[in-house]
Amino acid sequence: MIDLDKQQIEIARNNELATNNAERLSHKIIIDGKLVSAISEETIPVINPSNGGLIGQAPRCRSKDVDRAVKSSEKAFLYWKKIPARERGKIMMQAANRLEKRRREIETLLSLDTGNAIRTQAIPETSSAIELFYMFAGLAGELKGENFPPNMEHVLHYTTRDPIGIVGAIIPWNAPLFLMVAKIAPAIVAGNTVVLKTAEQAPLCVLLFSEILQEELPPGVLNVISGYGEEAGEPLVVHPKVRKITFTGSYEVGKEIMIKAASKLCPVTLELGGKNPNIILSDADLDIAIPGVIEGMRYTRQGQACTAGSRIYIHDKIYDKVIDGVVKRLSELRMGDALDELSDIGAIISEKQLKRTLHYMDLAVQSPSVKVLHGGHRPADPMLRNGFFYEPTLIEGLPIESPVCQEEIFGPVACAFSFNDFDTMMQSANNTPFGLSATLWTENLSRALQFVEEIDAGFVQVNQCVAPRANVSYGGLKMSGLGKEYAIDSMINHFTQSKTILINRGKSAHNHNC
């Protein structure tokens, strides 16, 4: 039996640690290495998704705060870019050590801020973020140009890899720490300085993470602001001193960022949405495929993941067996307060996002052929009524053309389809404007290779459906974005620029007097 007293004590302990940090960081941004008040006196309420209560206020930054942060970054860049790459790597390694020592603070505030369950999501995300930080710190020595064989007499021909300048980084709320590190760590190691805009829904955990980094980073190398996209994000994107934009979020916003950055020929990295297929062939090993549906849909993150396998294609021969297995496992997942170690599933990030899920479910149940196989409701538990909770949901019977099957819900709703023809199924799997991720379950090597060749996705897996991680190059095709992240290529390709140098040394030295 669960010891309820112990459970409540643990929740209270986690909540106190997180709440104290939330209160301390409330109303603050980071400029010149310090927690300071914003110029703007307006604020944005930060809500605990688990109970709907207020946990803090984030400054509603506007153009003046953006300009203040950029000026700090511009000043720091003059110094930071001259530090040898390996020395920058050592500084970042020391910063990562500090993150490791304060891991528990980070985990609890992440859980409070996002509503993601501490055991299944906040602890693994914090671990992954620190691991990614360590990785980029260790790659500092790989920032080097190339030397080319001479193709002109007496000419030395080589290239350099140099920092770009000030990077504007804009992150979402669903995995804020990992996505933050994916942007700031390679940029800073490469010699750039960064102005980071947090997501207004989950700014406090990012602020804590950044505050810890300030203990090692020189002032101004990383400045952190908060605010709405149109008020703080847009001024950051169009600022003439910002020479690189990296963004994770929706396709609609990503498109606008690209348009606005184009006026100053500013390069962009975009990781956008997905409507991803998770395909189970008749010969699949169901012992791994059935739990793979749960993991692939990111149900324990409330479906709030760009890589969520929300379109599940199951071969006719095994359809009922797979559905029964998935439904059984879904029924065993425990939904509850995000800071409760026993919770498998937490809360959706906000009331707005919950309403988005409810909207798509309303569309789904209007179809006469739809059947809700699991979930489809807000939980009945009175302890959860004030939070933004929604049951993990699996439905069948919708036509593939339905907006529920075509548009990114970013909630815990997946659609199941049966098929008996591989080629027809592949046409359906590719019939979406997105091309982020895709998964196939099979023991047929030939089919697996055919799938890899034909699927329109940038992140492809066979017989597993794990989330992206350190040293796995990740990015989408089509409307799912531009560029790859999480590996060395993202640091070199996205956060450095190259010079080509030709030096004519003249005639041989022996023809001259020394």
As annotated, the active-site residues are 271, 306
CA distance 185 to 132: 8
Tokens of 380: 């009945």
N-to-C CA span, the chain: 89
Closest CA to 274 of 81, 436, 495: 436
Virtual CA dihedral for 216, 218, 222, 227, nearest 10 degrees?
Answer: 100
CA distance 174 to 249: 10
Closest CA to 415 of 364, 357, 358, 347: 364
Count Cβ atoms within 10 A of the Cβ of residue 256 and give its class: 0-12 exposed, 13-18 middle, 19 or more buried.
Answer: middle
User: What is the secondary structure of 411-429 as a DSSP string?
Assistant: SSEEEEEEES-HHHHHHHH
User: Helices then strands (H, E): number in the chain?
Assistant: 16, 22
Q: Which residues are CB-neighbours of 347 under 8 A, at least 6 positions away?
A: 49, 50, 115, 302, 338, 384, 387, 388, 389
Cβ neighbours around 23 below 10 Å, total: 13
Distances (CA, A) of 194 to 33, 167, 203, 246: 12, 5, 16, 10
Tokens of 213: 């980094």
Please tell me whether residue 244 adopts helix, strand or coil conformation.
Answer: strand
Backbone angles phi, psi at 460, to 5 degrees: -120, 135
Count Cβ atoms within 10 A of the Cβ of residue 51 and give its class: 0-12 exposed, 13-18 middle, 19 or more buried.
Answer: middle
CA distance 271 to 54: 30
